[in-house]
Amino acid sequence: MSKITNPFDIYKLLPQTNCSECALPNCLAFSAAVIKGQKKLTDCPYLTVENRELLANRIIIREEFTRARGEDLDALKNRICFINLSEKAHLLGARMVSGKLAIKSLGKDFFVDAKGNVTSECHTHVWLSVPLLSYIVHSSGMDPTGRWVPFRELKGASPMEPLFVQRGEIPLKKLLDRNSELLEDLLGIFSGKRADNRLFSSDIALTLYPLPKVPILFCYWSPEGDMDSDLSIFFDASAERHLQIESIFSLGVGLVMMFEKIAGKHT
Ligand code: SF4
């Protein structure tokens, strides 16, 4: 049986009643705690014996998952060794500098050598370095189409969609509810572009480029009268021609984690 690295695969087998008897607010939070090794399956009194057996010994807790991501990085590096970076540079919207591939991410140069080592003046996070190498290996070179789609409409995204909302869209909406000017600040910090907010009738629309041909659009709707605020993250429809869905998820959620850190420093 396949291993489980995604909390949603646990969530699917839970009762989904959000009763909180496990001392967590809901079943999704419980799933996330199990994958981090903070809760055991037996902490949910309503998980059926049958489903517990289905999950038993298949869950890779987060530390192991991080190691698995490290292995992904090593596998990608091995593949980079067989790619002619100079030939692929143009296709990727990148350039060669002193024998290394220079790729712009959020306005900053990241350099990749022939062995797949990533360097930059900025800190290189795993949430970015894995998609960056994956982009070099998998990108078709297709230019953005200009058609924006939510994460759930990308190929293979549906099982990860609840987690994308929980770890990406909800935390960012909360951040902007507290500080709606944050998106404007991010525009300057990460060389973003103001997008045409008539597109989705949003109050703020901002495009960032974590990879040259993989733009991400953030739209925020301010609260109005009885209406709560809202936030959506969109990807260009061509994103799946550049990256596997795990890397697209990693870029979206990784960016939000970084915004949270920046907002924390500003308060
Ligand atoms: S006890 Fe079980 S059913 Fe209740 S919220 Fe926790 S995980 Fe969900």
Ligand 1 centroid – CA 1 distance (Å): 25
What is the edge-to-edge ordering of all strands in the sheet holding 95-97? Answer: 95-97, 100-105, 108-112, 118-120
77 pLDDT band (50/70/90 cuts)?
very high
pLDDT of residue 99: 95
Residue ranges of the alpha helices (H) in the chain? 7-11, 27-35, 49-55, 62-80, 85-92, 126-138, 161-164, 170-178, 182-189, 245-266
Nearest to 86 by CA among 98, 76, 73, 75: 98
Q: Is the CB of 22 under 6 A from ligand 1?
A: yes
10-36 per-position pLDDT tens digit:
999 999 999 999 998 899 889 988 887
pLDDT at 260 > cutoff 90: no
Mutate-to-test residue for ligand 1 from 12, 22, 28, 51, highest number of ligand atoms within 8 A of CB = 22
Percent of the chain with pLDDT over 70: 94
CA of 232 to the centre of ligand 1 (A): 28
Mutate to test the pocket of ligand 1, among 8, 11, 26, 35 (most ligand atoms within 8 A of CB): 26
User: For 23-32, 80-89, 181-190, 236-245, which range has the lowest pLDDT when averaged over its residues?
Assistant: 181-190
Q: Is the shortest distance between the CB of 34 and ligand 1 below 6 Å? A: no
Place of tokens 């959620």: 253
Alpha-carbon distance 32 to 26, whole Å?
A: 10
Taking the centre of ligand 1 as the mean of its atom positions, its distance from the CA of residue 23, in whole angstroms, is 8
pLDDT at 63 over 70: no
pTM of the model as a whole: 0.74
Ligand 1, atom 4: closest residue by C-alpha: 19
CA–centroid distance, residue 37 to ligand 1 (Å)? 16
Assign 198 to helix, strand or coil. coil
Ligand 1 atom index nearest CA of 47? 2
Tokens linked to 244: 């596997």
Supply the pLDDT for residue 101: 97
Whether residue 217 contacts residue 205, with contact meaning beta carbons closer than 8 Å, is answered with yes
How much is the mean pLDDT over the chain? Answer: 88
pLDDT average, residue stretch 237-256: 92
> Which atom of ligand 1 has the smallest separation from the CA of 27?
8
Q: Whose CA is nearest to atom 8 of ligand 1?
A: 27
Whole-number CA gyration radius for the chain: 20
For residue 52, the CA-to-ligand 1 centroid distance in Å is 13
Phi and psi of 244, rounded to 5°? -75, 160
- Any atom of ligand 1 within 6 Å of the Cβ of 179: no
Rounded percentage of the chain residues whose pLDDT exceeds 90: 54
CA of 57 to the centre of ligand 1 (A): 20
Counting atoms of ligand 1 from 1, which one is nearest the CA of 21?
Answer: 1
**Cβ of 148 below 6 Å from ligand 1:** no
For residue 151, the 8-state DSSP code is G
